[in-house]
Amino acid sequence: SNYIMVGYDDLYSIQYFRENIRPYWNRKGDSSIQKQFALAAAEYEQLMKRCEKFDAKLMHDAAISGGKEYAELLALAYRQAIAAHKLIETPNGELAWLSKENYSNGSIGTVDVTYPSAPMFLYYNPEFAKALINFIFYYSESGKWTKPFAAHDVGTYPLANGQTYVGDMPVEECGNMLILTGAICKMEGKADYALKHWDVLTTWTDYLVENGGDPANQLCTDDFAGHWARNANLAVKAIVGVAAYADMADMAGKKDIAQKYGAIAKDMAAKWKEMAQEGDHYRLTFDTGRDTWSQKYNLVWDKMLGYNVFDPSIALDEVAYYLTKQNVYGLPLDCRRGYTKSDWIMWTATLADDHETFMKFVQPIYDFANETTDRIGLTDWYNTDSDKRVGFEARPVLGGFYIKMLEEKFSK
């Protein structure tokens, strides 16, 4: 046996707010692609042993967590999620782990792509989770982004010079940033990271208190479905975002703030239940009728991070209802069409309280990955009633498959 070495030297990886930035491996400008080849060759045997050990541990741990099929899906997702990012060190010395919005609009550092991809990085190394959002904090705190809600992105790959997405996702991105910051603090057991960004986190939380409980006509991360007002799942995200802020305040010793916003989040959640309930399930939007429904995948963070602002019966009722709506390759995103997002199904599955129910959602994803005739990097957007993708492929969001593993890590 032998090996072939293939490498790519991009010289400068990213333009970061008008400054050209070298790749992380050559961030000080003291290496070369030739040196990296020599280093890789010298470490080949050691690296292969480490890779084999890592592979075995991942498959073992994932199989215990979710079963053989779940483990094989995580193996598919691992390299794909990492490959769809670029690592740099920013001029202020922070890490930036910048996503590439593959097979979409080419955005760089998209917050609502970071949100689904984050579970994998939270699970393995919270420093990478911070690197997914450091640049969004910088964008607001530097004054380059002046709106009272979080930006959607920082440019079009590889130019990270400021948002280029047409339009905003105000409730979506504020909720994402607050939930992810809350998850980082929970993982670290301290609020230090939140305290670095407290002022902007407060601004975003107040925006959600004012606008998130019953969202106006705007896009959410499922933007391919178009604008829609009074989105019940988006409101869940806003409420969990407020709860995250309260939890971070509590961790930071800001007891009055924690009590105030914790009460607000619980009140918002109670109103949500009243507005969204429709018999045995919860509506797509607050003003639609009995036959509408959607995956409330954002609820998973309320359960996983222990905020518990929503009545736990909501998740149980939703999971039971979803099982009546599945197609051969999984649960549709909502009642309007047959397509789905596999990352969101995995989050919805994690709302289940037992392995058997979890697998009822995961098995169809596995079947699609195994039976699809599209020979591409695994898509996250596909039709649940056929073996064909709708659009995306090889995107970072499959890092979201690690949500079940992450839930178990938080529970330990």
From first to last of its 412 residues, the chain has per-residue pLDDT tens of 899 999 989 899 999 999 999 999 999 999 999 999 999 999 999 999 999 999 999 999 999 999 999 999 999 999 999 999 999 999 999 999 999 998 889 999 999 999 999 999 999 999 999 999 999 999 999 999 999 999 999 999 999 999 999 989 999 999 999 999 999 999 999 999 999 999 999 999 999 999 999 999 887 777 677 778 999 999 999 999 999 999 999 999 999 999 999 999 999 999 999 999 999 999 999 998 778 999 999 999 999 999 999 999 999 999 999 999 999 999 999 999 999 999 999 999 999 999 999 999 999 999 999 999 998 889 999 999 999 889 888 899 999 999 999 999 998 8
Neighbours of 295 (CB within 10 A): 24
Q: What is the pTM of this model?
A: 0.96
How much is the pLDDT for 68? Answer: 96
Could you tell me where the beta strands, DSSP code E, fall in 153-302? 159-160, 277-278, 281-282
CA–CA distance, 170 with 145 (Å, rounded to integer): 13
Give the strand order in the sheet containing 19-21.
19-21, 14-16, 159-160
- What is the per-residue pLDDT for 282? 96
